[in-house]
Each structure stands twice: as C-alpha cells, then as structure tokens.
Amino acid sequence: NVAINPLNSPATNRTRIVIQVIDTGVGIPPEEHKLIFEMFTRGKDTGRYNPGGTGLGLAITRELVRLLEGDIQLESRPESGTVFTVTLQLPLAVDDDEFATTQPSVPTGQIRMLHSDRNDTESQPDMKRTQPDKQHVWHALLVEDNRVNQRVAVGLLQKLECKVTVVNNGQEAVDAVLKPENDFDFVLMDRSMPVMDGLEATRRIRAHEARSAVSGKTSSNRTGGHLPIFAMTAHAMEEDRLECLQAGMDDFIAKPIRRQILMEVLNKHLKA
C-alpha cells in the first residue's frame, strides 16, 4: 500500500510531499533498523520468507532521497509490518500557478493507491539553498569507482551548476589531468579505488605540477598551477584526514556527501 500526501503552503513556492510505503509483512527487528540502509544488507531470513535481491535497494533509495534533500524514516516491529516514510520539499512546477497554491480539494490532500511494494526512504536536516559564489561554470573531475556514489555526486554537482567529468580510478584521473585540453577547476577524489587509489593519484598530480613549475610550463587547469583536490572517503578518523592532506589533497569530505558541506568546501577553496 502506497500513500502520497501533498501538503501545499500558500506562503511559499514549495510543496511538501509525504510518501508512505506500508506492508503487512514479518517486520524488521529494531537492531536491524540502521543496518538495513547499508549496501549489500538484507533482512535476515526468518525461515518463512527469503527476501532475495542484492541488498542495494534501500541504500540506493536513501542516497536518492538525500540527493533531493529529503528525509526517510522507518517504523517497524517484528510481526507488525513496516512503514517507510519519505518527506520531500519540492518546488512548484509553475511559481505563479494560483491553483497549485490554493487549499487542496481533499482536506488531507491524500492520494491513495495500491501498489506492489518495495519503496523506502530516510531522514536529513533541511539544507540552505544558496548557490556557491561564482561567475563561470566550474568544471569538476569526479574520481569514483562506485556507480551509485557516482550518480549521487554527479547529481549534487549538477545542482550546483557544475560541469562534470567522471573517471573510475586514480590512474584515469592522472591521465585526465595531464591532458592539455582539460581545464578542471577542482577534483573530487575517492580515497579507495582499484588500479590506483586516490592518495597515489594525488601524489602524481602534485609531482606533475612541481615539474611544470620548475620548467616554467603553464598548467592546463584554470587554477594557475595548483589544482584543488578534495578527498571523498567513508573513513572519517582524524588520521585518515591527515593522510589525505599529507598526500597533497586540499580538504576532506566525509561520505555520504552532503550538499551544504560540499558548497562550503568549494566556496572556501575556489575563486569566483
């Protein structure tokens, strides 16, 4: 069962949408509530029901909801079914549409429909909707081997009006930076990747910059010789941060990436 509740606010140009996915299944034990949103995690087989699948559905859903700056919450107890609630603040399609900003025709604004199941979602605080201070379109090099993380990061960067080039490992990143035709403004570099990790890739980029400075060659990037590189990693310990900085990275962004944090880092290090 899926319930959708649009709650329009006449005072703003945004609509609050609440989506609930409700089932009457075996439920989820409290100790699994946080784990269930992790990648490759599935509910335990109770002997009566094998959930199947790869364990990616809820992880992807959570990232998509976060990308939309929304909130996903879980309510469930064993033998009592499960309710996933997603809350989104969405802009109206037409800002001056009088019909869209009037009271909904149904008092609760509720639309109900039967559906075959498996949608979910989780929570997050509201984020400030300011754009980074800039006059030109920033060109970002995203270095990330995980497809889901790629989609999330690309979505965030595009919402900040950035042009994005995506590569899958550190070696591809070094190759992209060294191409004279590329003019990256900054790099978002995953730390752990196959072929070449982010630390080694950063060291090689910095070594190339040093050689270019000694030889008097002009760097191809817009930053005038030093290309800002920001680490992306799920390892948020202080020693991990220091290791990234010692490799030559300029700053550190913990995963999952938050739009507000990304904006703060970009505004701190990049010139308009």
Q: What pLDDT is recorded for position 185?
A: 94
Under a CB-based contact definition with an 8 Å cutoff, are residues 270 and 229 in contact? Answer: no
In which residue are the tokens 């030093």 written? 226
What is the model's pTM?
0.56
* C-alpha 164: how far from chain center: 14
Report how far apart, in Å, the C-alpha atoms of 127 and of each of 1, 67, 86, 239, 258 are: 30, 11, 16, 28, 9
Torsions phi, psi of 101, nearest 5?
Answer: -100, 5
Q: What pLDDT is recorded for position 109?
A: 43
d(CA 227, CA 249): 9
Higher pLDDT, 232 or 81: 232
CATH number of 2-113: 3.30.565.10
* C-alpha 3: how far from chain center: 26
Most confidently modeled range among 77-86, 100-109, 164-173: 164-173
Least confident of 46-55, 145-154, 221-230: 46-55
Taken as a whole, the chain contains a residue count of 272
The predicted model gives 141-163 an average pLDDT of 91
Q: pLDDT grade, residue 122 (50/70/90)?
A: very low
- The full set of domain ranges for the chain reads 2-113, 139-269
Residue 85 has pLDDT above 70, yes or no: yes
Q: pLDDT grade, residue 220 (50/70/90)?
A: low
Residue 183 has pLDDT above 50, yes or no: yes
**Tokens of residue 29, six digits:** 């034990």
Average pLDDT in the chain: 77
Q: What is the pLDDT of residues 25-48, one digit of tens each?
A: 888 888 888 777 877 665 555 444
Q: pLDDT grade, residue 110 (50/70/90)?
A: very low
d(CA 239, CA 236): 8
Q: What pLDDT is recorded for position 148?
A: 85
Q: What percentage of the chain reaches a pLDDT higher than 90?
A: 30
Q: What pLDDT is recorded for position 97?
A: 43
Q: pLDDT grade, residue 117 (50/70/90)?
A: very low
d(CA 152, CA 232): 12
Q: What pLDDT is recorded for position 93?
A: 53
Amino acid at 64: L
Q: What pLDDT is recorded for position 108?
A: 40
Least confident of 35-44, 66-75, 237-246: 35-44
CATH C-level class of 139-269: alpha beta
